[in-house]
Chains A and B, each alone.
Chain A
Amino acid sequence: MKESHSADQLPVIEVKNLSVTYRVRGTRQPDKLAVKDLCLSVRSGEVFGFLGPNGAGKTTTMNVLLGFVNATGGDAFLFGTNVREPIARQRIGYLPELTYYYKFLTAEELLRFYAKIFGIPKAETERRMDAVLKLVELEGARKRPIKTYSKGMQQRVGLAQALINDPDLLILDEPTSGLDPIGRMKVREIIQRLKDEGKTVFFSSHELGEVETVCDRVAILHQGELKVEGRVCELAHQHQCNLEQLFLRVIGYNNGSSVVRSESDLKRDQFGPSFQHSTIPSLHSVP
């Protein structure tokens, strides 16, 4: 599937020079630049991992794509339509991080509600509901109120709602966050199945192992800037390390803690930029 994309395919997600600035209200602090000149493109059928430490700008970028936040600069497009148009969201499914769905509803009622918003006819809604509940393995609990669900089940009902409109693009914000290993495995399996069905999946995660397993391409964001983008295998080959090592390198994390880094910075200041302290691990020696 990875090799089947042609270069001239219209990107499902296209982000051009995106910048987002937040105003820090009530303080004299300057505005916070959450995303800086981000350019990104995700093609149809790809599973794209969007990585970065907390506060890197991943969720902000997703919020722009979903129309929750207006960009201060640049543009973003879904299926060629500007994200400012509500119609751009007709073909997407979105799973936010840690959502507590309406406790007083059952999974069936929740899915019917979302299907109604998409304008899906009743018969089609029932058919899709059966399919997605089977996919997320919640058939047995479909008539139970959501308040009786475990965290993993809630996350899976979230996936079900994201899939009810049979979307061409899925945007998942840390889909395995807070789940136990079995829950994670199940969500990962679902993503894998969606990938096999040819869906485009754009997801952020801190679980680098699972990103490495399911993603075709990744982008690493740090302090609002895109640091690395490419195919997982190519990046691994190019940098001679796994994704976790690359990630740590990109965000400037050294095993010797920040104290060592400060020391080395001082030495650099003292002896000039050519100074290499023996305690600073080289790019290839980061564990």
Chain B
Amino acid sequence: MKNIFAVSSIVIKELYRRKDFYVLFILTVLICLVMASVNIFNDKGVIRYLKEICLLLVWIASLVIAITTTARQIPAERENRTLFPLLAKPLTRTELLLGKFLGCWLASGLTLLCFYVFFGLLAGSREHHWPVVNYLQAGTLHWVMLGVVIAMTLLGSLVFAAPSSNATICFVIATGILIMGRHLNKVALHLPEPRRGILYSIYYAIPHFELFDMRDLIVHNWPPIAWQVCGLATLYALAYAAVFLIAACVVFRRRALN
């Protein structure tokens, strides 16, 4: 376990010493503050739109940070040749991958914390209402979902040669599932066989990221969901992350390093 934590600590250091996070955070903050300063049509309910846009930006930024950070981990180790002195030490390839996963996941968690704290302050300052439990549930499930995205991107970084192509593919898949995932079964209903069967298979095979999307809960100030549901969603995400990580470990163990 010490090896996994050692590797993850390097990933976290990398995140806060690079500019990516700061650029996206400052950009999100600026856009949200500019929008918050404008009261369109003197509508008191405009805060809902502000919250919706701000959360959308948080989701986009978190996906970009999680995917780009993960996509470059193994390729950068190869390119800079740091993989060799690392694996020449008593560290297995599985430990390295798990360390990278943990580091990326924890780093994404830290960025999410910053984004949600900012969002909470912004929304609270306008609404004078602090639904902390809602934020906690939304943030936790968001983070858990990012775990699946990170595991998927880690597998992609071993399959695709270029980090940029891997990042693009993973971003398209993640946003595609978020937008279309919940509708696939409805589309499948209207299709003839064998396309119906194929679409249903895809529907049941993909990780349904939309289950982790609690934005409506915050935007409309709905009551928090049951913690058991959060727990089940977490287990669902962990199962998918485990599948992707096992596949990544198998690919990495078979892959020649040179």
Whether A associates with B in a native complex is yes
In the bound assembly, the distance between CA atoms of A63 and B92 in angstroms comes to 15
Is B159 interfacial (CB-CB < 8 Å)?
no
One digit per residue, 1 when the CB lies within 8 angstroms of any chain A CB and 0 when it does not, for chain B 94-130 equals 0000000000000000000000000000000000000
B residues near A, CB below 8 A?
2-3, 5-6, 9-10, 13-14, 17-18, 80-82, 84-92, 256-258
A144 to chain B, nearest CB (A): 13
B contact residues around A102 at 8 Å (CB): 10, 14, 80, 82
Other-chain contact of B82, A87, A89, A101 (Cβ < 8 Å): A101
In the bound assembly, the distance between CA atoms of A55 and B14 in angstroms comes to 35
Other-chain contact of A63, B3, B91, B258 (Cβ < 8 Å): B258
B81 pairs with A94, CB closer than 8 A: no
B220 to chain A, nearest CB (A): 42
In the bound assembly, the distance between CA atoms of A221 and B90 in angstroms comes to 28
B contact residues around A68 at 8 Å (CB): 84, 87-88, 256-258
B81 pairs with A89, CB closer than 8 A: no
A119 pairs with B258, CB closer than 8 A: no
Other-chain contact of B84, A96, A117, A118 (Cβ < 8 Å): A96
A63 in contact with B17 given A89-B90, A99-B84, A117-B3 (CB within 8 Å): no
In the bound assembly, the distance between CA atoms of A264 and B217 in angstroms comes to 86
Is A69 interfacial (CB-CB < 8 Å)?
yes
B2 pairs with A104, CB closer than 8 A: no
A118 pairs with B89, CB closer than 8 A: yes
A contact residues around B2 at 8 Å (CB): 116-117, 119
A96 pairs with B13, CB closer than 8 A: no
A residues near B, CB below 8 A?
22, 59-60, 63, 66-69, 86-87, 89-90, 92, 94-102, 104-105, 109, 113-114, 116-119, 158, 161-162, 165, 171
B88 pairs with A100, CB closer than 8 A: no
Q: How many A-B residue pairs have CB under 8 A?
A: 84
A contact residues around B256 at 8 Å (CB): 22, 68-69
Residue of A nearest to B18 (CB): A104
Q: List 24 A-B contacts (CB under 8 A).
A: A63-B258, A66-B84, A67-B87, A67-B88, A68-B87, A69-B258, A90-B90, A92-B88, A96-B81, A100-B80, A100-B81, A100-B82, A102-B14, A102-B82, A104-B13, A109-B13, A113-B9, A114-B85, A116-B2, A117-B86, A117-B91, A118-B89, A162-B85, A171-B88
B258 to chain A, nearest CB (A): 6
A contact residues around B92 at 8 Å (CB): 86
Lowest 4 CB-CB distances: which A-B pairs, in order? A94-B88, A116-B6, A104-B17, A100-B80
Most interface-central of B18, B81, B92 (chain A CB within 10 A): B81
B158 to chain A, nearest CB (A): 16
In the bound assembly, the distance between CA atoms of A63 and B258 in angstroms comes to 8
Most interface-central of A22, A68, A90 (chain B CB within 10 A): A68
Most interface-central of A63, A100, A102, A171 (chain B CB within 10 A): A102
Residue of A nearest to B16 (CB): A104
A81 to chain B, nearest CB (A): 12
B contact residues around A87 at 8 Å (CB): 90
Residue of B nearest to A92 (CB): B88
A66 pairs with B10, CB closer than 8 A: no
A171 to chain B, nearest CB (A): 8
